[in-house]
Amino acid sequence: PMAHDPGTDFTYNSGCSVLLSGIIENRTGQTTAAFADKQLFQPLGIDTWGWDSGPHELTNTGWGLHLRPIDMALFGYVFLNQGRWEGEQVVPAGWVQTSTAVHIDAGSQNDYGYQWWRFAEGSSVANALATNDLFFAWGYGGQFIFVIPHLDMVVVSTADNFDNGTRAFNFLRDYILASVQ
């Protein structure tokens, strides 16, 4: 039995993200890491990366993607530009819109899309924005890619902050956003 009806409650679970790896591998016949390399990393010129794998060599899409900060920023930049990079559509624009849209209230002043987070209206970061269009990738320990379309801005944070990975939210609000708006 399910604890809640689909779409009525949210608890983040990396296992759901790992399940996506199985779907990609089943549909493409290659590992998710190989698929991402061919379809995303190579077109973007990202050649220094790693991705952990789990049992049966399943790419661990719940965590374990290792990118340099400049390449994290490039990934954010592609989403900032509706999936385009150097005149090429690397990620479908429709997917950029769909994946970064709010699909459920995630609690704690956050909303969730498809692998992207948003700050809920009324949250301290959303209140610091002229337009609440910011979306972000959230990695364990303080790894973030913040994309702020109305400011034409991507902000990357890397950290070793496993006790309070959300400290970057305050830094973003108090220093980055305060200096550009």
DSSP string, 110-130: EEE-SS-EEEPTTSHHHHT-S
As beta bridge partners, residue 67 has 49
Let me know whether 38 and 99 are in one domain: no
pLDDT above 70 coverage of the chain, percent: 100
Q: Is the pLDDT of residue 181 over 80?
A: no
Q: Is the pLDDT of residue 46 over 90?
A: yes
CA distance 102 to 114: 8
Let me know whether 141 and 172 are in one domain: yes
Residue 57 falls within a domain, yes or no?
A: yes
Residue 25 falls within a domain, yes or no?
A: yes
pTM: 0.91
